[in-house]
A = this chain, B = another copy of it.
Protein backbone atom coordinates (compact mmCIF):
# COMPACT_ATOMS: atom_id res chain seq x y z
CA UNK A 1 0.00 0.00 0.00
CA UNK A 2 1.37 3.38 -1.12
CA UNK A 3 0.17 5.94 1.41
CA UNK A 4 2.55 8.77 0.54
CA UNK A 5 -0.47 10.88 -0.38
CA UNK A 6 -2.03 10.47 3.06
CA UNK A 7 1.26 11.24 4.79
CA UNK A 8 1.56 14.47 2.82
CA UNK A 9 -2.03 15.41 3.71
CA UNK A 10 -1.18 14.99 7.38
CA UNK A 11 1.97 17.07 7.05
CA UNK A 12 4.24 14.11 7.68
CA UNK A 13 7.58 13.77 5.98
CA UNK A 14 7.33 11.80 2.72
CA UNK A 15 9.95 9.99 0.61
CA UNK A 16 8.81 11.92 -2.45
CA UNK A 17 6.03 14.29 -3.53
CA UNK A 18 2.77 12.44 -4.24
CA UNK A 19 0.77 13.47 -7.30
CA UNK A 20 -2.73 13.07 -8.68
CA UNK A 21 -4.77 15.15 -11.11
CA UNK A 22 -8.21 16.61 -10.68
CA UNK A 23 -10.53 14.94 -13.23
CA UNK A 24 -7.87 12.31 -13.88
CA UNK A 25 -10.70 9.84 -14.51
CA UNK A 26 -12.06 11.65 -17.50
CA UNK A 27 -12.53 12.39 -21.14
CA UNK A 28 -8.85 12.81 -22.10
CA UNK A 29 -8.39 9.04 -21.66
CA UNK A 30 -9.45 6.81 -24.58
CA UNK A 31 -10.06 4.09 -22.00
CA UNK A 32 -12.61 6.34 -20.27
CA UNK A 33 -14.22 7.27 -23.59
CA UNK A 34 -14.66 3.57 -24.35
CA UNK A 35 -16.66 3.09 -21.14
CA UNK A 36 -18.53 6.36 -21.50
CA UNK A 37 -19.52 5.50 -25.07
CA UNK A 38 -21.78 2.75 -23.75
CA UNK A 39 -23.79 4.80 -21.21
CA UNK A 40 -24.95 8.33 -20.48
CA UNK A 41 -23.03 10.44 -17.99
CA UNK A 42 -25.64 10.00 -15.27
CA UNK A 43 -25.86 6.26 -15.92
CA UNK A 44 -22.11 6.05 -15.52
CA UNK A 45 -22.26 7.96 -12.22
CA UNK A 46 -24.80 5.45 -10.91
CA UNK A 47 -23.03 2.28 -11.99
CA UNK A 48 -20.54 1.16 -9.30
CA UNK A 49 -18.72 -1.32 -11.54
CA UNK A 50 -18.15 1.22 -14.30
CA UNK A 51 -17.29 3.98 -11.78
CA UNK A 52 -14.74 1.64 -10.29
CA UNK A 53 -13.28 0.84 -13.69
CA UNK A 54 -12.83 4.48 -14.74
CA UNK A 55 -11.53 5.51 -11.30
CA UNK A 56 -8.76 2.91 -11.53
CA UNK A 57 -7.76 3.69 -15.13
CA UNK A 58 -5.55 6.72 -14.34
CA UNK A 59 -3.85 4.90 -11.49
CA UNK A 60 -2.74 2.19 -13.89
CA UNK A 61 -2.04 4.47 -16.86
CA UNK A 62 -0.42 7.46 -15.15
CA UNK A 63 1.00 5.89 -11.98
CA UNK A 64 -0.56 8.55 -9.75
CA UNK A 65 -0.41 8.29 -5.97
CA UNK A 66 -4.13 8.63 -5.24
CA UNK A 67 -7.43 7.72 -6.85
CA UNK A 68 -10.57 9.82 -6.73
CA UNK A 69 -13.92 8.11 -6.97
CA UNK A 70 -15.70 8.84 -10.22
CA UNK A 71 -18.87 10.83 -9.61
CA UNK A 72 -20.22 14.36 -9.97
CA UNK A 73 -20.69 17.04 -7.32
CA UNK A 74 -24.34 17.38 -8.33
CA UNK A 75 -25.32 13.76 -7.60
CA UNK A 76 -26.42 14.55 -4.00
CA UNK A 77 -28.37 17.56 -5.29
CA UNK A 78 -30.44 15.25 -7.46
CA UNK A 79 -30.95 13.11 -4.36
CA UNK A 80 -32.38 16.18 -2.61
CA UNK A 81 -35.39 15.85 -4.90
CA UNK A 82 -34.27 17.87 -7.88
CA UNK A 83 -34.46 17.08 -11.55
CA UNK A 84 -30.92 17.10 -12.99
CA UNK A 85 -30.03 16.81 -16.66
CA UNK A 86 -26.71 16.71 -18.43
CA UNK A 87 -26.70 18.06 -21.96
CA UNK A 88 -23.70 17.35 -24.16
CA UNK A 89 -21.57 20.48 -24.51
CA UNK A 90 -23.81 22.55 -22.24
CA UNK A 91 -23.11 21.12 -18.81
CA UNK A 92 -25.58 20.38 -16.04
CA UNK A 93 -29.08 21.81 -16.01
CA UNK A 94 -31.64 22.01 -13.22
CA UNK A 95 -34.83 22.76 -15.16
CA UNK A 96 -36.57 23.96 -11.99
CA UNK A 97 -34.18 26.40 -10.31
CA UNK A 98 -34.76 27.30 -6.67
CA UNK A 99 -35.80 30.89 -6.19
CA UNK A 100 -38.37 30.86 -3.39
CA UNK A 101 -39.29 29.39 -0.03
CA UNK A 102 -41.39 26.63 -1.55
CA UNK A 103 -38.36 25.50 -3.55
CA UNK A 104 -36.27 25.30 -0.39
CA UNK A 105 -39.02 23.57 1.58
CA UNK A 106 -39.42 20.92 -1.13
CA UNK A 107 -35.78 19.88 -0.81
CA UNK A 108 -35.20 16.62 1.02
CA UNK A 109 -32.18 15.86 3.16
CA UNK A 110 -31.67 12.27 2.08
CA UNK A 111 -30.04 9.41 3.90
CA UNK A 112 -27.00 9.06 1.63
CA UNK A 113 -26.74 5.29 2.07
CA UNK A 114 -30.32 4.89 0.90
CA UNK A 115 -30.42 7.61 -1.72
CA UNK A 116 -26.95 7.11 -3.22
CA UNK A 117 -26.03 3.48 -2.55
CA UNK A 118 -24.10 3.38 -5.84
CA UNK A 119 -21.59 5.91 -4.47
CA UNK A 120 -20.94 3.90 -1.33
CA UNK A 121 -20.71 0.69 -3.35
CA UNK A 122 -18.17 2.34 -5.67
CA UNK A 123 -16.08 3.26 -2.65
CA UNK A 124 -16.20 -0.29 -1.28
CA UNK A 125 -15.30 -1.82 -4.63
CA UNK A 126 -12.46 0.63 -5.14
CA UNK A 127 -10.99 -0.05 -1.71
CA UNK A 128 -10.73 -3.73 -2.61
CA UNK A 129 -8.87 -2.99 -5.83
CA UNK A 130 -6.68 0.01 -5.11
CA UNK A 131 -3.05 0.07 -4.01
CA UNK A 132 -3.21 3.84 -3.49
CA UNK A 133 -5.49 5.88 -1.20
CA UNK A 134 -9.03 6.68 -2.29
CA UNK A 135 -10.35 10.24 -2.24
CA UNK A 136 -14.07 10.87 -1.84
CA UNK A 137 -15.52 14.29 -2.51
CA UNK A 138 -18.39 16.73 -2.56
CA UNK A 139 -19.09 20.23 -3.76
CA UNK A 140 -19.01 23.02 -1.20
CA UNK A 141 -22.44 24.40 -0.26
CA UNK A 142 -21.96 27.76 -1.96
CA UNK A 143 -20.87 26.18 -5.23
CA UNK A 144 -23.73 23.68 -5.12
CA UNK A 145 -26.20 26.45 -4.36
CA UNK A 146 -25.15 28.41 -7.45
CA UNK A 147 -26.25 25.52 -9.67
CA UNK A 148 -29.59 25.22 -7.89
CA UNK A 149 -30.31 28.94 -7.95
CA UNK A 150 -29.06 29.67 -11.47
CA UNK A 151 -30.46 26.43 -12.89
CA UNK A 152 -27.04 25.41 -14.19
CA UNK A 153 -23.67 26.98 -14.87
CA UNK A 154 -23.35 30.74 -14.93
CA UNK A 155 -20.92 33.52 -15.74
CA UNK A 156 -22.15 36.40 -13.60
CA UNK A 157 -24.11 34.49 -10.92
CA UNK A 158 -26.65 37.28 -10.80
CA UNK A 159 -29.48 35.16 -9.38
CA UNK A 160 -27.29 33.71 -6.64
CA UNK A 161 -26.01 37.06 -5.49
CA UNK A 162 -29.45 38.59 -5.87
CA UNK A 163 -30.84 36.00 -3.46
CA UNK A 164 -27.94 36.62 -1.05
CA UNK A 165 -28.48 40.35 -1.12
CA UNK A 166 -32.23 40.67 -1.43
CA UNK A 167 -33.43 37.56 0.42
CA UNK A 168 -30.64 36.59 2.82
CA UNK A 169 -32.95 34.48 5.01
CA UNK A 170 -34.03 32.41 2.04
CA UNK A 171 -30.41 32.08 0.92
CA UNK A 172 -29.27 30.94 4.35
CA UNK A 173 -32.17 28.46 4.62
CA UNK A 174 -31.14 26.95 1.29
CA UNK A 175 -27.49 26.79 2.27
CA UNK A 176 -28.30 25.21 5.61
CA UNK A 177 -30.18 22.42 3.87
CA UNK A 178 -27.45 21.82 1.30
CA UNK A 179 -24.90 21.82 4.12
CA UNK A 180 -26.79 19.20 6.09
CA UNK A 181 -27.06 16.99 2.99
CA UNK A 182 -23.37 17.43 2.15
CA UNK A 183 -22.28 16.80 5.69
CA UNK A 184 -24.15 13.49 5.87
CA UNK A 185 -22.95 12.58 2.39
CA UNK A 186 -19.27 13.01 3.25
CA UNK A 187 -19.67 11.16 6.54
CA UNK A 188 -21.23 8.26 4.66
CA UNK A 189 -18.30 8.26 2.22
CA UNK A 190 -15.89 8.06 5.14
CA UNK A 191 -17.85 5.16 6.63
CA UNK A 192 -17.83 3.37 3.28
CA UNK A 193 -14.06 3.60 3.20
CA UNK A 194 -12.94 6.88 1.62
CA UNK A 195 -9.47 7.69 2.99
CA UNK A 196 -9.52 11.42 2.32
CA UNK A 197 -12.25 13.86 1.34
CA UNK A 198 -11.99 16.81 -1.01
CA UNK A 199 -14.50 19.66 -0.94
CA UNK A 200 -14.68 21.51 -4.26
CA UNK A 201 -15.61 25.20 -4.05
CA UNK A 202 -15.36 25.75 -7.77
CA UNK A 203 -17.21 29.08 -8.04
CA UNK A 204 -16.32 30.76 -4.80
CA UNK A 205 -13.84 33.01 -6.59
CA UNK A 206 -16.69 35.23 -7.74
CA UNK A 207 -17.27 36.45 -4.18
CA UNK A 208 -15.74 39.52 -2.61
CA UNK A 209 -13.83 38.49 0.55
CA UNK A 210 -16.46 39.97 2.83
CA UNK A 211 -19.26 38.08 1.08
CA UNK A 212 -17.22 34.90 1.21
CA UNK A 213 -16.85 35.31 4.95
CA UNK A 214 -20.59 35.68 5.42
CA UNK A 215 -22.19 33.61 2.69
CA UNK A 216 -19.87 30.68 1.98
CA UNK A 217 -17.15 30.01 4.53
CA UNK A 218 -19.37 29.22 7.57
CA UNK A 219 -21.00 26.30 5.74
CA UNK A 220 -17.66 24.74 4.88
CA UNK A 221 -16.54 25.18 8.47
CA UNK A 222 -19.70 23.47 9.66
CA UNK A 223 -19.19 20.44 7.38
CA UNK A 224 -15.56 19.97 8.38
CA UNK A 225 -16.35 20.43 12.05
CA UNK A 226 -19.05 17.72 11.79
CA UNK A 227 -16.62 15.43 10.01
CA UNK A 228 -14.02 15.86 12.76
CA UNK A 229 -16.47 14.40 15.27
CA UNK A 230 -16.73 11.10 13.43
CA UNK A 231 -13.52 10.60 11.46
CA UNK A 232 -9.91 11.73 11.38
CA UNK A 233 -9.30 11.23 7.66
CA UNK A 234 -7.71 14.23 5.92
CA UNK A 235 -9.91 16.90 4.39
CA UNK A 236 -8.83 18.94 1.36
CA UNK A 237 -10.58 22.22 0.64
CA UNK A 238 -10.20 23.65 -2.85
CA UNK A 239 -11.38 27.25 -3.19
CA UNK A 240 -10.89 27.78 -6.91
CA UNK A 241 -9.77 31.25 -8.05
CA UNK A 242 -9.50 32.08 -4.36
CA UNK A 243 -6.26 34.04 -4.15
CA UNK A 244 -7.93 36.89 -2.30
CA UNK A 245 -9.67 34.46 0.07
CA UNK A 246 -6.65 32.42 1.03
CA UNK A 247 -6.23 33.79 4.56
CA UNK A 248 -9.92 33.12 5.17
CA UNK A 249 -9.77 29.58 3.77
CA UNK A 250 -7.24 28.75 6.47
CA UNK A 251 -10.07 28.95 8.96
CA UNK A 252 -12.19 26.36 7.11
CA UNK A 253 -10.63 23.61 9.21
CA UNK A 254 -9.19 21.53 6.37
CA UNK A 255 -5.85 19.71 6.52
CA UNK A 256 -4.94 20.61 2.96
CA UNK A 257 -5.69 23.71 0.90
CA UNK A 258 -6.01 23.33 -2.86
CA UNK A 259 -4.42 26.03 -5.02
CA UNK A 260 -5.32 26.94 -8.57
CA UNK A 261 -2.55 27.99 -10.99
CA UNK A 262 -3.12 31.74 -10.75
CA UNK A 263 -1.20 32.08 -7.52
CA UNK A 264 2.52 31.50 -7.22
CA UNK A 265 2.80 28.54 -4.87
CA UNK A 266 5.69 30.23 -3.06
CA UNK A 267 3.42 33.15 -2.24
CA UNK A 268 0.67 30.75 -1.14
CA UNK A 269 3.00 28.76 1.10
CA UNK A 270 4.13 31.99 2.75
CA UNK A 271 0.51 32.88 3.45
CA UNK A 272 -1.10 29.60 4.51
CA UNK A 273 1.61 28.81 7.01
CA UNK A 274 1.08 25.49 8.68
CA UNK A 275 -1.24 23.87 6.14
CA UNK A 276 -0.35 21.29 3.56
CA UNK A 277 -1.05 22.53 0.03
CA UNK A 278 -2.16 20.85 -3.17
CA UNK A 279 -1.51 22.11 -6.69
CA UNK A 280 -0.75 24.10 -8.77
CA UNK A 281 0.24 23.45 -12.39
CA UNK A 282 -1.83 25.21 -15.07
CA UNK A 283 -3.72 22.37 -16.85
CA UNK A 284 -2.68 23.89 -20.17
CA UNK A 285 0.99 23.52 -19.18
CA UNK A 286 0.52 19.84 -20.07
CA UNK A 287 0.65 21.04 -23.69
CA UNK A 288 4.21 22.35 -23.28
CA UNK A 289 7.20 20.64 -24.89
CA UNK A 290 8.66 18.12 -22.43
CA UNK A 291 11.70 20.15 -21.35
CA UNK A 292 9.57 23.19 -20.53
CA UNK A 293 6.88 21.13 -18.84
CA UNK A 294 9.54 19.57 -16.65
CA UNK A 295 11.02 22.98 -15.86
CA UNK A 296 7.63 24.18 -14.63
CA UNK A 297 7.14 21.10 -12.52
CA UNK A 298 10.58 21.57 -11.00
CA UNK A 299 9.82 25.17 -10.21
CA UNK A 300 6.57 24.29 -8.42
CA UNK A 301 8.29 21.55 -6.41
CA UNK A 302 11.09 23.95 -5.42
CA UNK A 303 8.68 26.73 -4.50
CA UNK A 304 6.54 24.39 -2.40
CA UNK A 305 9.55 23.17 -0.45
CA UNK A 306 8.66 25.23 2.63
CA UNK A 307 5.12 23.84 2.89
CA UNK A 308 4.03 21.63 5.75
CA UNK A 309 3.15 19.14 3.03
CA UNK A 310 2.77 19.25 -0.73
CA UNK A 311 0.61 17.14 -3.00
CA UNK A 312 1.37 17.87 -6.61
CA UNK A 313 -1.72 18.44 -8.74
CA UNK A 314 -3.07 20.63 -11.49
CA UNK A 315 -4.62 23.97 -10.58
CA UNK A 316 -7.90 22.80 -12.13
CA UNK A 317 -9.31 19.70 -13.81
CA UNK A 318 -7.31 18.08 -16.61
CA UNK A 319 -8.60 19.23 -20.00
CA UNK A 320 -10.33 16.76 -22.34
CA UNK A 321 -7.87 17.68 -25.12
CA UNK A 322 -4.81 16.68 -23.05
CA UNK A 323 -2.62 13.99 -24.62
CA UNK A 324 -2.48 11.18 -21.99
CA UNK A 325 1.23 10.73 -22.69
CA UNK A 326 1.85 14.29 -21.50
CA UNK A 327 0.04 13.56 -18.22
CA UNK A 328 2.19 10.47 -17.79
CA UNK A 329 5.34 12.48 -18.43
CA UNK A 330 4.26 14.98 -15.78
CA UNK A 331 3.68 12.30 -13.14
CA UNK A 332 7.03 10.71 -13.91
CA UNK A 333 8.76 14.09 -13.64
CA UNK A 334 7.17 14.87 -10.26
CA UNK A 335 8.37 11.52 -8.96
CA UNK A 336 11.85 11.81 -10.42
CA UNK A 337 12.49 15.40 -9.27
CA UNK A 338 11.21 14.70 -5.78
CA UNK A 339 13.35 11.62 -5.31
CA UNK A 340 11.20 8.56 -5.86
Contact = CB atoms under 8 A, between A and B. Distances in A.
A211 B282 contact: yes
Interface residues of A, number: 34
B208 A282 contact: yes
A283 B161 CA distance: 10
B207 A262 contact: yes
Interface stretch (A62-70, A285-293, A327-335): A285-293
Contact of A263 (B206, B209, B262, B283): B209
How many copies, total?
2
Contacts of A292: 165
Interface string A260-289: 011110010000000000000011110111
Contacts of A161: 282, 284, 287
Contacts of A156: 283-284, 319
Interface string A219-235: 00000000000000000
A284 B244 contact: no
Contacts of A267: 209, 244
Nearest to A242: B262
Contacts of A210: 264, 299
A210 to B, nearest CB: 7
Contacts of A262: 205-209, 241, 244
A50 to B, nearest CB: 27
A327 to B, nearest CB: 15
A340 interface: no
B287 A208 contact: no
A166 interface: yes
Contacts of A288: 165-166
A96 B321 CA distance: 21
Interface in A276-322: 282-285, 287-289, 292, 299, 315, 319, 321
Interface in A130-165: 156-158, 161-162, 165
Contact of A289 (B158, B166, B209, B315): B166
B244 A263 contact: yes
Contacts of A115: none
A188 interface: no
A117 to B, nearest CB: 34
A92 B262 CA distance: 26
Interface of A: 156-158, 161-162, 165-166, 205-211, 241, 243-244, 261-264, 267, 282-285, 287-289, 292, 299, 315, 319, 321
Given A158-B319, A161-B284, 14 more contacts: A156-B283, A156-B284, A157-B284, A162-B284, A165-B288, A165-B289, A205-B262, A208-B261, A208-B315, A209-B263, A209-B267, A210-B299, A244-B262, A244-B264
18 contacts: A158-B284, A158-B321, A161-B282, A162-B284, A162-B287, A165-B284, A165-B288, A166-B287, A205-B241, A208-B261, A208-B262, A208-B264, A208-B282, A209-B262, A210-B264, A243-B244, A244-B262, A244-B267
